[in-house]
Protein backbone atom coordinates (compact mmCIF):
# COMPACT_ATOMS: atom_id res chain seq x y z
CA UNK A 1 0.00 0.00 0.00
CA UNK A 2 1.19 3.49 -0.84
CA UNK A 3 0.28 6.27 1.57
CA UNK A 4 -0.36 9.70 0.07
CA UNK A 5 0.40 12.07 2.90
CA UNK A 6 -2.42 14.50 3.53
CA UNK A 7 -1.16 17.57 5.36
CA UNK A 8 -3.78 19.99 4.10
CA UNK A 9 -2.12 20.97 0.84
CA UNK A 10 -3.84 20.56 -2.50
CA UNK A 11 -6.22 18.14 -4.01
CA UNK A 12 -5.25 14.51 -3.93
CA UNK A 13 -8.13 12.86 -5.77
CA UNK A 14 -6.45 12.47 -9.20
CA UNK A 15 -3.18 11.42 -7.61
CA UNK A 16 -4.94 8.69 -5.67
CA UNK A 17 -6.76 7.52 -8.83
CA UNK A 18 -3.50 7.31 -10.76
CA UNK A 19 -2.22 4.64 -8.37
CA UNK A 20 -5.38 2.67 -9.02
CA UNK A 21 -4.53 2.85 -12.73
CA UNK A 22 -1.20 1.11 -12.11
CA UNK A 23 -2.79 -1.50 -9.88
CA UNK A 24 -1.49 -0.16 -6.59
CA UNK A 25 -3.58 0.36 -3.50
CA UNK A 26 -3.23 3.94 -2.33
CA UNK A 27 -4.62 5.73 0.67
CA UNK A 28 -4.85 9.45 1.32
CA UNK A 29 -3.98 9.76 4.98
CA UNK A 30 -2.67 11.83 7.85
CA UNK A 31 -2.81 8.92 10.28
CA UNK A 32 0.67 8.09 11.64
CA UNK A 33 -0.16 4.38 11.99
CA UNK A 34 -1.25 4.09 8.37
CA UNK A 35 1.88 5.92 7.29
CA UNK A 36 4.08 3.58 9.35
CA UNK A 37 2.27 0.58 7.90
CA UNK A 38 2.58 1.78 4.28
CA UNK A 39 5.12 0.23 1.92
CA UNK A 40 5.84 3.56 0.27
CA UNK A 41 5.10 7.24 0.82
CA UNK A 42 4.06 10.04 -1.51
CA UNK A 43 4.60 13.62 -0.45
CA UNK A 44 2.31 15.76 -2.63
CA UNK A 45 1.97 19.52 -2.66
CA UNK A 46 0.87 22.58 -4.56
CA UNK A 47 0.99 26.23 -3.58
CA UNK A 48 3.61 28.13 -1.64
CA UNK A 49 6.70 26.51 -0.08
CA UNK A 50 6.59 28.36 3.23
CA UNK A 51 2.94 27.54 3.85
CA UNK A 52 3.43 23.87 2.95
CA UNK A 53 6.60 23.52 5.05
CA UNK A 54 4.77 25.02 8.02
CA UNK A 55 1.82 22.65 7.61
CA UNK A 56 4.23 19.71 7.43
CA UNK A 57 5.87 20.82 10.68
CA UNK A 58 2.63 21.64 12.48
CA UNK A 59 1.12 18.29 11.61
CA UNK A 60 4.25 16.49 12.80
CA UNK A 61 4.52 14.90 9.36
CA UNK A 62 8.03 16.25 8.84
CA UNK A 63 9.44 14.09 11.65
CA UNK A 64 7.36 11.08 10.76
CA UNK A 65 8.42 11.20 7.09
CA UNK A 66 12.09 11.54 8.05
CA UNK A 67 11.80 8.62 10.48
CA UNK A 68 10.21 6.39 7.87
CA UNK A 69 12.80 7.38 5.26
CA UNK A 70 15.62 6.61 7.68
CA UNK A 71 14.10 3.14 8.11
CA UNK A 72 14.51 2.65 4.34
CA UNK A 73 10.95 3.28 3.18
CA UNK A 74 10.73 4.67 -0.38
CA UNK A 75 9.44 8.24 -0.58
CA UNK A 76 8.49 10.26 -3.64
CA UNK A 77 7.81 13.99 -3.55
CA UNK A 78 5.70 15.45 -6.34
CA UNK A 79 5.83 19.07 -7.53
CA UNK A 80 6.00 21.21 -4.36
CA UNK A 81 6.35 17.95 -2.43
CA UNK A 82 9.56 17.33 -4.38
CA UNK A 83 10.85 20.82 -3.56
CA UNK A 84 10.21 20.18 0.15
CA UNK A 85 12.74 17.32 0.08
CA UNK A 86 15.62 19.78 -0.32
CA UNK A 87 17.54 21.80 2.24
CA UNK A 88 15.92 25.15 1.64
CA UNK A 89 13.88 27.33 -0.67
CA UNK A 90 14.25 30.94 -1.71
CA UNK A 91 10.56 31.38 -2.49
CA UNK A 92 9.61 34.70 -0.87
CA UNK A 93 12.44 34.70 1.67
CA UNK A 94 14.47 31.73 2.85
CA UNK A 95 12.73 28.68 4.28
CA UNK A 96 14.10 25.34 5.44
CA UNK A 97 12.86 22.14 3.82
CA UNK A 98 13.17 18.53 4.99
CA UNK A 99 16.83 18.35 4.01
CA UNK A 100 16.55 14.79 2.69
CA UNK A 101 18.34 15.81 -0.51
CA UNK A 102 21.19 18.23 -1.05
CA UNK A 103 20.28 21.35 -2.97
CA UNK A 104 17.98 24.33 -2.88
CA UNK A 105 14.92 25.76 -4.58
CA UNK A 106 15.34 28.90 -6.67
CA UNK A 107 12.99 30.95 -8.90
CA UNK A 108 13.27 29.83 -12.53
CA UNK A 109 13.07 33.53 -13.45
CA UNK A 110 16.72 33.87 -12.36
CA UNK A 111 17.86 31.31 -14.87
CA UNK A 112 15.67 31.33 -17.96
CA UNK A 113 15.93 33.85 -20.81
CA UNK A 114 13.48 36.72 -20.88
CA UNK A 115 10.32 36.21 -22.90
CA UNK A 116 9.59 32.73 -21.60
CA UNK A 117 6.45 32.56 -19.53
CA UNK A 118 6.41 31.88 -15.81
CA UNK A 119 5.19 29.45 -14.59
CA UNK A 120 6.40 26.88 -17.04
CA UNK A 121 3.02 25.34 -17.77
CA UNK A 122 2.59 22.46 -20.18
CA UNK A 123 4.24 19.37 -21.61
CA UNK A 124 7.99 19.24 -21.89
CA UNK A 125 10.48 16.49 -22.69
CA UNK A 126 12.72 14.72 -20.20
CA UNK A 127 16.44 14.31 -20.74
CA UNK A 128 17.69 11.55 -18.52
CA UNK A 129 21.03 12.26 -16.84
CA UNK A 130 21.22 9.54 -14.21
CA UNK A 131 19.99 5.99 -13.81
CA UNK A 132 17.32 5.14 -11.28
CA UNK A 133 14.76 2.42 -10.64
CA UNK A 134 11.93 4.94 -11.00
CA UNK A 135 12.98 5.75 -14.56
CA UNK A 136 13.36 2.15 -15.67
CA UNK A 137 10.34 2.44 -18.01
CA UNK A 138 11.13 6.03 -19.12
CA UNK A 139 13.23 7.08 -22.08
CA UNK A 140 14.87 10.27 -23.28
CA UNK A 141 12.37 12.57 -24.95
CA UNK A 142 9.29 11.30 -23.10
CA UNK A 143 6.92 14.17 -22.34
CA UNK A 144 5.60 15.06 -18.90
CA UNK A 145 3.35 17.84 -17.60
CA UNK A 146 4.88 20.73 -15.64
CA UNK A 147 3.41 23.63 -13.67
CA UNK A 148 6.10 25.46 -11.70
CA UNK A 149 7.82 28.77 -11.10
CA UNK A 150 10.66 27.43 -8.94
CA UNK A 151 13.11 24.61 -9.45
CA UNK A 152 15.84 22.71 -7.62
CA UNK A 153 19.48 23.71 -8.16
CA UNK A 154 22.80 22.29 -6.92
CA UNK A 155 21.27 18.83 -6.58
CA UNK A 156 24.61 17.12 -7.13
CA UNK A 157 24.44 13.40 -7.77
CA UNK A 158 20.72 13.15 -7.01
CA UNK A 159 19.88 14.67 -10.41
CA UNK A 160 18.14 12.09 -12.61
CA UNK A 161 16.51 14.09 -15.42
CA UNK A 162 16.27 17.65 -16.68
CA UNK A 163 13.93 19.49 -19.00
CA UNK A 164 14.89 22.30 -21.36
CA UNK A 165 13.04 25.58 -20.80
CA UNK A 166 15.49 28.13 -22.10
CA UNK A 167 17.98 26.35 -19.88
CA UNK A 168 18.09 22.93 -18.20
CA UNK A 169 15.71 22.74 -15.25
CA UNK A 170 15.67 19.91 -12.70
CA UNK A 171 12.82 17.54 -13.56
CA UNK A 172 13.51 14.39 -11.59
CA UNK A 173 15.77 13.54 -8.66
CA UNK A 174 16.55 10.49 -6.58
CA UNK A 175 19.06 9.26 -4.08
CA UNK A 176 18.78 6.10 -2.01
CA UNK A 177 15.14 5.61 -1.22
CA UNK A 178 14.18 9.29 -1.74
CA UNK A 179 12.78 10.37 -5.13
CA UNK A 180 11.20 13.51 -6.51
CA UNK A 181 9.39 14.69 -9.64
CA UNK A 182 8.99 18.38 -10.39
CA UNK A 183 6.33 17.49 -12.97
CA UNK A 184 2.98 15.82 -12.25
CA UNK A 185 3.25 12.10 -13.05
CA UNK A 186 -0.47 11.74 -12.32
CA UNK A 187 -1.19 14.22 -15.14
CA UNK A 188 1.45 13.03 -17.59
CA UNK A 189 -0.48 10.32 -19.40
CA UNK A 190 1.19 6.95 -19.95
CA UNK A 191 4.68 8.33 -19.28
CA UNK A 192 3.62 9.51 -15.84
CA UNK A 193 1.88 6.26 -14.99
CA UNK A 194 5.04 4.35 -15.94
CA UNK A 195 7.04 6.38 -13.44
CA UNK A 196 4.45 5.72 -10.72
CA UNK A 197 4.45 2.02 -11.60
CA UNK A 198 8.25 1.94 -11.32
CA UNK A 199 8.06 3.69 -7.96
CA UNK A 200 5.51 1.13 -6.75
CA UNK A 201 7.99 -1.60 -7.63
CA UNK A 202 10.68 -0.16 -5.37
CA UNK A 203 11.15 -1.93 -2.07
CA UNK A 204 12.24 -0.70 1.34
CA UNK A 205 16.01 -0.67 1.73
CA UNK A 206 17.60 -2.32 4.70
Partner 1 sequence: MITKRIIPCLDVKDGRVVKGVNFQKLGDVASPVELARYYSECGADELVFYDITASAEGRTLFTEILTETARTVFIPLTVGGGINTTEDFDRVLKCGADKVSVNSGAIRDPSLVGKAARLYGDQCVVLSVDVKRVNGAFRIFAKGGRENTGMEAIEWIRRCVGEGAGEVVVNSMDTDGVKQGFDLELLEKVCGAVQVPVIASGGAGKIEDFITLFKTLPGVDAGLAASIFHFGEVRIADLKAEMSRNGIPARI
Alpha carbons 98 and 24: distance in angstroms, whole number:
26
Tell me whether residue 155 is one of the annotated catalytic residues.
no
Is 94 one of the catalytic residues?
Answer: no
Binding partner 1 (rule: CB under 8 A), the pick from 83, 186, 195, 199 is 186
**CA distance to 30, 33, 37, 85, 141, per residue, from 61 (Å):** 8, 12, 15, 13, 35
CA distance 83 to 182: 7
Among 69, 172, 192, 199, binds partner 1 (CB under 8 A): 192
Q: Which of 95, 172, 184, 200 is catalytic?
A: 184
Q: Which of residues 29-58 bind partner 1 (CB under 8 A)?
A: 46-47
Closest CA to 25 of 137, 34, 192, 44: 34
* Stretch 135-174 residues interacting with partner 1 (CB under 8 A): 143, 145-147, 164-165
Closer to partner 1 by Cβ: residue 60 or 122: 122
Which residue number, 102 or 187, has a Cβ lying nearer to partner 1? 187
3-state helix, strand, coil in the chain (%, to 5): 30, 30, 40
Active-site amino acid positions: 79, 184, 186
User: Under the rule (CB under 8 A), what is the footprint of partner 1?
Assistant: 11, 13-14, 17-18, 20-21, 46-47, 117-125, 143, 145-147, 164-165, 186-189, 192-193
Amino acid sequence: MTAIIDYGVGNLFSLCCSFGAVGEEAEITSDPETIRRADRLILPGVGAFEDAARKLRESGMDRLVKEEVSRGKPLMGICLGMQLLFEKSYEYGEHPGLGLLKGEIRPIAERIPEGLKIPQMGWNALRITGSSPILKYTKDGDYVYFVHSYSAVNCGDSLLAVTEYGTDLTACVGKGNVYGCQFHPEKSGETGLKILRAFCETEAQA
